[in-house]
Structure 1
Amino acid sequence: IQIQISPQTDRHHTFQNTPKNWSDFYGKIFTFREYYARIAEIFDIYKPFLRQNLEVLDVGCGTSLIASELGSKCKMTCIDFCKAVIDQMTVQDTTSEYLTMDARSMQFPDELFHLVNVKAFFEFQDDTIACFQVLSECYRVLKPEGVLIVVTQLRTETIKDLLNLFKWKNILSTLAPINPGCQTIKGGSLEYLTMDA
């Protein structure tokens, strides 16, 4: 893979991506968080794709409330490799299924989900190989004509280079302001990338 994640422009942290570190992090905050976009903005992204009986996967769900908000509109499955997060969210949200799982090797059959959401995730991966592995798994578990939604602070060029390693029918891109409640680089923006498989 020739794409490199630049620490100066793609990673806005020095956080080590391990289940223990995430468990420690979420054990201290005792709250539910939305990174980069508010729930209303997320709904705006989802709206064109929502319908009854839609199977949705939220990758690296953390303590996001996306699943609890969408759970009445579709069947939500949420994964995170941090067991403490999954335990916390299982109690908080009974409308969705929460599973402890590594996104690099998902334990789902091929072509299961209509929509896969990956929000505030890629910037915490250690290298391009990890990002590629996760995208490969997302592509594998998407149904034909499925949709992948990526909300990220990775540079547009970086995420598009990664996405172009796969055969997507469409790549729709929207630049949007970052949720002002997030701790990010001043003047930052985030890329909503929506792809049809």
Structure 2
Amino acid sequence: MPLHVPPAPAPALRTVLTALSSPTAVREARTPSLLGARGPVTPDLPLPVHVLDHVTPDGVPAVRLTGWRFLIRSGGHAVAAAETMLTPDGWAFSHFFEGPYVSATERALRQAESVVQPFQPRLLSVPGLYMLTLWLHGDCAADAATGHPEATDLLVPLAPAPPGIAAHRPHRVADLLPVLTHRVTPAPAPAPTSLLRSPA
């Protein structure tokens, strides 16, 4: 299997296990698939979640780690996900959720397993486009909490993807990043009409 899933911080995993064992946390999660899961539920495939803040003038994407996400499995497939976040006191459980990104993440990971080149899977969020991608980082030995997308890394937009961007199709960072940068860059303000008038 070419995917080298990075180990999550042990305290982050413990917070998820504690939440899963808490009937109150599960009941308040508003995730029918998790509430209705039959048999044991287990956290699996931890992925670091990075957010794209901006792209530097040199074209380097500036990203930051915001948490770790675990797929919650029951009966052989993901029924929900659990999000953890880093606080001043350490790792804390954030919330459970379900929805299209859960199955889309599972699908993208299956697709990535068929790629010959080994990768370290991460998640990259682009808030300005309401977009989430599976980020396949080429340096499998890298610290999953640091670094930025390299030009040869792959980004796989998860469904639902923004209009005009194909979901579940891998793109090299060098190819997709300019498109994302253009989309999130505000359009220049129109020039004042007084400047557009020809001199009398």
Higher strand share: 2
Rg: which structure is higher? 2
Q: TM-score, normalised by structure 1?
A: 0.26
Higher helix share: 1
Q: TM-score, normalised by structure 2?
A: 0.25
